[in-house]
Structure 1
Amino acid sequence: MALKHDDLKSELCFLFYVASKEVIKKYATHLKSYDLTYTSYITLKSIQPNEIVNIKTLGNRIYLNSGTLTPLIKKLDQKGLVQKVRNEDDERNLNISLTDKGAEVQEYLYKVTDEVYKELKFEGDDMEQLVSILDRFIKNNFE
């Protein structure tokens, strides 16, 4: 299939921009009640319960650099959702884990995903296909 490049709606960058902006806006609406931003949300969702994860590993996992992640972790720490633990062997090496409160909030965040998916009116096989395609796109181009 040949794509027409004279129509903005056929430009991949535009489609990603609009879709990303609008989906994140839907998440942000639901996250207000938890006093979380979208980046706080993906950070909390990416830490497994009882996991101690290095900040660099966490940044790689969610595609955030340390300049963005460090103040974000500080805010989550102040809210009591994560705790920072310095590595005993190397104090420059910061590890992060969920607190009990963070794990509790994380459980509620699954409801946010369900609500957003319902609002998108894009379900079942279509949603699974879209997620699969986007996952493959990211792995092929950014990992």
Structure 2
Amino acid sequence: MQEESFDPLLLGNQLCFPLYAAARKIVAAYHPFLKNLGLTYAHYVTMMVLWEERIITMHELGKRLYLDSGTLTPVLKKLESMGYIKRRRKEDDERVVVAEITKEGEALREEAAKIPYAMGCLINRNGDLFTPKEAAALKKQLYHLLHALA
């Protein structure tokens, strides 16, 4: 009997593909909930960090979101034009840009707080996909992967 060899170019042998496809599906599933708030997924995760930190440097925000400044700048510009954040340069170092949440941005948090529950219901509509322990383990593994690639 001949042993089958591993083909690294078969789509079914890739770890990256189901991660990519799942990420696209999750972002698409968020779309209707975020559309009601006028946000994209990139706006939403940026606001999540700002709701947590209130004031953060662009550099630190980029690290938290795994985004470079070229990707983050248009997101911040849009959120600023919507009145949710203010950007300014630090007085002691004008090279450093700081983002700060506004009262309007803080008020948006209340509406956005409904989204995680709605997504949980959507994902688990056919029964629990993951136990809380499994979900925590998956999140931990994904962060290990992110840190390895950072």
Query: Scaled by the length of structure 2, what TM-score is found?
Result: 0.82
Q: CA deviation at 1:80?
A: 0.6
Q: CA 1:4/1:120 → structure 2, altered by over 3 Å: closer, same or farther?
A: farther
Structure 2 partner of 1:100: 103
Cα shift at 1:7 = 4.7
TM-score, structure 1 normalization: 0.86
- Among 115, 122, 141, the alignment partner of 1:133 is 141
Gaps of 5+ in 2: 1-5
Worse overlay, 39-48 or 129-138: 129-138
Aligned counterpart, 1:16: 19
**2-structure distance, mates of 1:20, 1:76:** 23
Who is 2:63 aligned against? Answer: 60
8 Å Cα contact 1:24-1:38 kept in structure 2: yes
Count of matched residue positions in the alignment of Structure 1 and Structure 2: 140
Matched, 1:76 2:84: no
Larger radius of gyration: 2
Q: What secondary structure, in the 3-state scheme, does the structure 2 residue paired with 1:34 have?
A: coil
Higher helix share: 1
* Superposition pairs of residues 110-125 of structure 1, within 5 angstroms: 110-121=113-124, 122-125=129-132
The range that moved more, 86-95 or 55-64, is 86-95
Q: What is the alpha-carbon distance in structure 1 between the residues aligned to residue 131 and residue 107 of structure 2?
A: 28
After the TM superposition, which parts of structure 1 deviate over 3 Å for at least 4 consecutive aligned residues? 3-7
Secondary structure of 1:95 counterpart: strand
Name the SS of the counterpart of 2:113 in structure 1: helix
1:117–1:123 CA contact under 8 A, matched in 2? no
Task: Measure how far apart 1:90 and its partner are.
Answer: 2.4
